[in-house]
Amino acid sequence: MALESMQAALARLEAVGYGCAFHARDMQLVCPVCGDAHPPDTLAINEIVRFEGASDPDDEAAVFALECPECGARGTWTVAYGPKMSADEAAIAPRLRDRRPR
């Protein structure tokens, strides 16, 4: 079974309504639809897709499928994972609420 590429994951998520891209600013995530900046703990993770390089930790990344608490827009936030993750991203990621079934 082949692993899903980042491009394929983003296309799959877009096909089910995650069509915009959130971005980090000042330790918050900004919704591209309503323009509001939200503390990470007010957004919910609906899915996480991780990508790991076969032998290089620099190839690691994660795509978070998120929903805006203000306007309900669904989008993605893509970050480097591991050594290339910025300090802001490293502070934001663990504060997201995970709504996925356990």
Its sign, for the CA torsion 58, 44, 34, 14, is positive
- Beta-strand runs (E) in the chain: 20-21, 23-25, 28-30, 37-38, 44-51, 61-67, 74-80, 97-98
At residue 100, the pLDDT reads 72
At residue 34, the pLDDT reads 96
H/E segment holding residue 11: helix 6-15
What band does 81 get if pLDDT is binned at 50, 70 and 90?
confident
pTM across the whole model: 0.87
At residue 53, the pLDDT reads 66
Task: Enumerate the domain spans of the chain.
Answer: 6-98
